[in-house]
Amino acid sequence: MNSDTTTDRGDLRGILGMFRRRWLLVVVATVIGAAAGLIIAKSHKKDYSGTAVLLFRPVLLDVQLTGLPLQQPANDPQRETSTDLGLVTLPQVRSRAAAALGPGYTAEKLKDKVDVSAKGKSQLVDVKATDNTPAAAAAVANAMADSFVAYRRQGLVARIDSAIRQVQRELRRRNTTRLQRVVLRNNYTKLVQLRAVQPGDVQFVSRAIPPTKPSSGSTLLYTILGGLLGFLVGIAAAVGSEALDRRVRRPDEVESALDLPVLATIPRSRTLRDGVGVWEGLSGADVEAFRLLRTNLRYRTGGRDLHSVLLTSAGAGSGKTTVALHLAAAAAAATDGRVLLIEADLRRPRLAQLLGLPAELGLSSALESDVEIDDLVASVPTAEGENGAGTAPGFDVLVAGPPLPNASELLGSERMSALLRQAGLDYELTIVDGPPPALVSDTIPLMKQVDGVLLVARLGHENSPELGALRTQLERLGVAPLGVVANFSRRTANPYVTTGT
Ligand SMILES: Nc1ncnc2c1ncn2[C@@H]1O[C@H](COP(=O)(O)OP(=O)(O)OP(=O)(O)O)[C@@H](O)[C@H]1O
Ligand SMILES: [Mg+2]
């Protein structure tokens, strides 16, 4: 049950995360959908409906009057109603209505415009017509109802005429008795009287009046439906793009992509982004993340001393220089020994600018000529952590120096090896900031000359195939990294650390 709750919470967090990342897509799709609905509603020809009401009544009165079954009352009233409904839209009825309505109307057109339905179980029948103006809708409904009333009357009159003719034939027959003739004459008179009153079994009870509002969907309805459809499309697009997105977002995804432990998770921080001087302005959580990295690194060497570590990554901009700098500061604060930071990224140097140091002299100068590193390193003071309390020992830094065309050769040269050996003698820990091996080969010779390699991965930026390729490349080179730093993590509260700067 507990694990179920955890999974549910994980799923929910995943869904919320997806919305946080893709909200713009969903909003844009919803707005486009609503706008499309609005445009359709505005451009759509509006429909209006008018309804005339007819009353169907059996002609029992006529039977009483004449004693003749002019129209058989049905046993099943439901069946009779459905038969009558069908009769209302007979072609003859539509043709007569079309002729009454005038040009523009045909029996065929009226078929689609008219709908007949019974009003519950009563004998009332609605004749509903739909047209594109209120007046036309009412006119069509009334014309159809009129036409049907006339059609029924005509049918009944025809039947009375045929009954009259039959009575006449009976009367003229030779073998009728006197009594029969009396009855027949009586019937004849009644039939003639009935015909004179123009009977009908359908009555027009309510004429259609032009409607005031269109019957087809309102603008608001179309806009809401369009927006809803757009929202659903937006959600589908968000889910689809999320499924195709292979970027790593969580430290555990980095871990499985590289098959390496995450030694520290560095929060995304404005201070780190702005590159303000070492420790200054860093929150307690940021400081603690780098301390933790330093401590974890020490325990990852399996008892071996770690005197030099190279930082590299799958791609550019993952935060190698930033992590190297703050790791140097954390290491300097944690040990009595000296700490050196070497910027071996000769192609995209950043440290000199970040620390306000001269960029004219640096590692490249040492590799080109026999300058001692003591003459090239600069000392960086660090002010201890939170609330600016106390001072901590600083560290030395060897910036990249002027750019060189043959950086790769020089970094793989004997002079570079000698420089690292010298650093190993003079410093407790040497941190080397190197470029990504997938982009330039400069780092490859350096990897073999340090005690350990540390990878930096940028969450939400690098993707798992990229990280997988780095892992394969390192395996082929026979390099087993110590672990990985998950940089740019969304800040999560650490209950052990105060959030002050
Ligand atoms: N945790 C972080 N939070 C916010 N910004 C960060 C963080 N880490 C690094 N940055 C910023 O990201 C950018 C790239 O960082 P950095 O230069 O350290 O990366 P890099 O891997 O050394 O890049 P390059 O491949 O160009 O050498 C810099 O602007 C830096 O300030
Ligand atoms: Mg860098």
Co-location of 54 and 171 in the same domain: yes
Q: How far apart are CA 320 and CA 460, in angstroms?
A: 16
DSSP string, 423-440: HHHH-SEEEEE---TTT-
Boundary-marking domain end, from 179, 206, 233: 206
* Cα-to-centroid distance, 391 and ligand 2 (Å): 27
Co-location of 66 and 34 in the same domain: no
Say what the pTM is: 0.64
Q: Let me know if residue 212 belongs to a domain.
A: no
At 294 the pLDDT is 92
Co-location of 139 and 264 in the same domain: no
Distances (CA, A) of 53 to 204, 450, 466: 6, 97, 74
Q: How close are the terminal C-alpha atoms of the chain, in Å?
A: 40
Co-location of 8 and 97 in the same domain: no
Position in ligand 1 atom list of the atom nearest CA 345: 27
Bridge partners of residue 487, in order along the sequence: 458
How far, in whole angstroms, is CA 315 from its chain's centroid?
A: 30
Co-location of 234 and 303 in the same domain: no
Pocket test for ligand 1, best of 321, 325, 456, 461 (most atoms within 8 A of CB): 321
Co-location of 24 and 52 in the same domain: no
User: Closest ligand to 456 CA?
Assistant: 1
Span 436-489, pLDDT tens digits? 887 778 888 899 899 999 999 999 999 889 999 999 999 999 999 999 999 999
Q: How far apart are CA 19 and CA 108, in angstroms?
A: 53
Q: How far apart are CA 367 and CA 376, in angstroms?
A: 11
What are the residue ranges in the chain where pLDDT is below 50?
A: 1, 3, 61, 72-74, 79, 385-389, 499-501
Q: Let me know if residue 123 belongs to a domain.
A: yes
Spatial contact of 159 and 191, defined as CB atoms under 8 Å apart: no
At 106 the pLDDT is 92
Boundary-marking domain end, from 206, 236, 262: 206
The CATH number for 151's domain is: 3.30.1890
Q: Let me know if residue 497 belongs to a domain.
A: no
User: Closest ligand to 325 CA?
Assistant: 1
Position in ligand 1 atom list of the atom nearest CA 274: 31
Distances (CA, A) of 266 to 304, 337, 448: 26, 25, 27
Question: Which residue's CA is the closest to the ligand 1 atom numbered 30?
Answer: 273
At 16 the pLDDT is 83
Amino acid at the residue 344:
A
Q: How far apart are CA 309 and CA 479, in angstroms?
A: 13
Question: Which residue's CA is the closest to the ligand 1 atom numbered 28?
Answer: 273
* Cα-to-centroid distance, 162 and ligand 2 (Å): 108
Distances (CA, A) of 350 to 32, 321, 357, 429: 44, 7, 10, 21
Co-location of 38 and 52 in the same domain: no
Co-location of 271 and 377 in the same domain: yes
The single-letter DSSP state of residue 406 is T
User: Closest ligand to 319 CA?
Assistant: 1
Question: Which residue's CA is the closest to the ligand 1 atom numbered 6?
Answer: 273
Co-location of 288 and 146 in the same domain: no
Co-location of 272 and 419 in the same domain: yes
Pocket test for ligand 1, best of 273, 354, 433 (most atoms within 8 A of CB): 273
Distances (CA, A) of 88 to 84, 100, 151, 162: 7, 16, 9, 24
At 499 the pLDDT is 46
Q: Domain of 366? A: 251-489
Question: Which residue's CA is the closest to the ligand 1 atom numbered 23?
Answer: 317
Q: Let me know if residue 499 belongs to a domain.
A: no
Q: Let me know if residue 211 belongs to a domain.
A: no
Q: Would strands 114-118 and 391-398 be described as parallel, antiparallel, or unpaired?
A: unpaired
Structure-block tokens of residue 87: 């009769």
Q: Let me know if residue 213 belongs to a domain.
A: no
**91-101 and 134-172 are packed helices; what angle lies between their axes, rounded to 10 degrees?**
130
Co-location of 22 and 52 in the same domain: no
Co-location of 124 and 109 in the same domain: yes
Please report the sign of the dihedral spanned by the C-alpha atoms of residue 297, residue 299, residue 300, residue 306.
positive
The number of distinct structural domains making up the chain is 3
Three-state DSSP state, 54: strand
Q: CB neighbours (10 Å) of residue 48?
A: 21
Spatial contact of 306 and 298, defined as CB atoms under 8 Å apart: yes
User: Closest ligand to 269 CA?
Assistant: 1
The CATH number for 463's domain is: 3.40.50.300
Question: Which residue's CA is the closest to the ligand 1 atom numbered 15?
Answer: 319
Structure-block tokens of residue 249: 């977002």
* Cα-to-centroid distance, 458 and ligand 1 (Å): 9
Q: Strands, E, within 241-365: which ranges?
A: 262-267, 308-313, 339-343
* Cα-to-centroid distance, 352 and ligand 1 (Å): 14
Pocket lining for ligand 1, CB < 6 angstroms: 266, 268-269, 272-273, 275, 313, 316-322, 345, 348, 350, 487-488
* Cα-to-centroid distance, 318 and ligand 1 (Å): 6
Question: Which residue's CA is the closest to the ligand 1 atom numbered 25?
Answer: 316
At 389 the pLDDT is 47
At 352 the pLDDT is 92
Amino acid at the residue 334:
A
Q: Let me know if residue 214 belongs to a domain.
A: no
Q: Let me know if residue 500 belongs to a domain.
A: no
The CA angle 80-83-84, to the nearest 5 degrees, is 85
**178-196 and 134-172 are packed helices; what angle lies between their axes, rounded to 10 degrees?**
160
Q: How far apart are CA 112 and CA 131, in angstroms?
A: 10
Question: Which residue's CA is the closest to the ligand 1 atom numbered 5?
Answer: 273
